Structure 1
């Protein structure tokens, strides 16, 4: 097995400087070093390569044939590194590359169409999106951005940006209300079918409502229990009964006539929405572009 002759980049840079200036003294001045250090760096490189790179006289420093061969390769290598540095610098300033985003299922489907505009604005972005209601490990699973609804645990390894606040409201389909009658008070909810969400903890999620000046919880007897946020919306649209969902999720369906907003005066403040980003060096331009887009989109979808 032949011995490796890899040379430190610093020594290669010194060699190129000497070759370009034709002088150890001028190379040292250009590099902010001493003539002695420059000479020692070239000597170490020649020893490592097992050949002489320069012919030295009292009047001139000239490349040997091996030196000319090595200079061409060294310049190509340094040019490649400079190009890579420029590309990385451009990537930091211009959003480019893959961004992995984890979104809650129902909420994510609300945001998914908006990514068309994001891609039109930043065509060098590639998006990898997961829609799931399970809790993800932002760091362990390699996500760039994880969007979560609700209060978040304190974690020093994460940075969090609040995207918006939500409100909770009661909704049902026009077809259901035509069959079962309109709802004009909270008391009438007891006479109607309820579609209820089962949270990640396994508990049925009570409805939080405003009753005059008081906030209280209702525990309806469900005709359908679902553990998927999007399925909850779809069940309400299909006419299963009344459900409580987030205003941003319900809004496009209300506007399209698929859902009716019941008892708006009973709406309550819902959970906040946060974007979770793994801590590290300065946030990449691609990640910042996605987070800013999510915040802007949610501001525009306010009811």
Structure 2
């Protein structure tokens, strides 16, 4: 036997209203539809629920017993609606986020602190991984990802902004190796790049207004850690290609200097990536807006 919750709730409305007319008016349905649906429900149950008289409806013994279950279902449905409304109005619950560790540690700590203070009912669980994890299989609400995104119909993405990269080196390195005055001179310098393999020439593009330069540049040290590459640059190991925000304190202290400051590398786009649900939970929306 397959019972539909809607039919049980309809029965509760009829029983509580005491007439088909009042129940139909409350539900916004024709009286004939309400009567027909109840009759079909009784057929499914194999029992009469109501005895119809000219003046009123009288519940059968079975109808009385079933009404208790119908009322409990209605209460649970109402509680579920209220829970959804509360969660929609006030961000709450556990929020699981995955993002690159360098981005979180070097740039997002103040934002994370503000979010925690502003939304005390949300507990944030961060997975700091340089690898792109499966959001749905891993049970994540959100990922912050850098660069081009692979097409995936199960995910939705929102652009957060872009990182305009420049070149930076330590005063010691530049004193030993000289300061490049043009992009063509980069070939004689050691590159510190976010690259999977060191020693392999990678296509490099630089732009200065309407001027563009394209050429290969082999990474002397390749790593998937921004923090490591910055430390290597501070130690005088080469030129690091990175967003200025990652090295701002070192620029202020003079421990790193801009190289070819008029030239920039192509920007890298940052994305908020979420499972492709039709409705975004309030906790996720609040976090994305805070980024």
Q: TM-score, normalised by structure 1?
A: 0.73
- Aligned-partner SS, 1:219: strand
Count matched residues. Answer: 287
Distance of aligned partners of 1:38 and 1:162 in 2 relative to their CA distance in 1, 3 Å threshold: closer
Indicate the RMSD between aligned Cα atoms, in angstroms.
Answer: 3.9
Of 48, 53, 61 in structure 2, the residue corresponding to residue 57 of structure 1 is 53
Match of 2:76 in 1: 80
Distance of 1:123 and 1:211 partners within structure 2: 46
> Structure 1 residue aligned with 2:65, among 69, 72, 79?
69
CA deviation digits over 1:239-271, x for unaligned, max 9? 544322222322245456664444433443432
| Alignment correspondent of 2:285 | 288
How far did residue 75 of structure 1 move? 1.5
Partner of 2:127: 130
Cα drift, residue 47 of structure 1: 5.0
Equivalent of 2:15 in 19, 23, 27: 19
* Contact 2:203–2:214 (8 Å) recurs in 1: no
Shift of 1:20: 1.4
2:26 equivalent among 19, 23, 30: 30
The CA deviation string for residues 18-37 of structure 1, in whole angstroms up to 9 with x for no partner, is 22122233223333344454
Aligned to 1:195: 192
Q: What SS does structure 2 have at the residue aligned with 1:268?
A: coil
Q: Which residue in 2 is equivalent to 1:148? A: 145
Alpha-carbon contact 1:101-1:146 (below 8 Å) kept: yes
Normalising by the residue count of structure 2, what TM-score does the alignment of the two structures yield? 0.75
Unaligned runs of 5+ in 1: 295-303
Contact 2:18–2:57 (CA<8 Å) still a contact in 1?
A: yes
For residues 144-163 of structure 1, give each alpha carbon's deviation from its aligned partner in whole angstroms, at most 9, with x where no partner exists. 43333234455666543322
What is the correspondence of 1:42-121 to structure 2 with a 5 Å cutoff? 42-46=38-42, 48-49=44-45, 51-113=47-109, 114-121=111-118
Structure 1 residue 281 displacement after superposition: 1.3
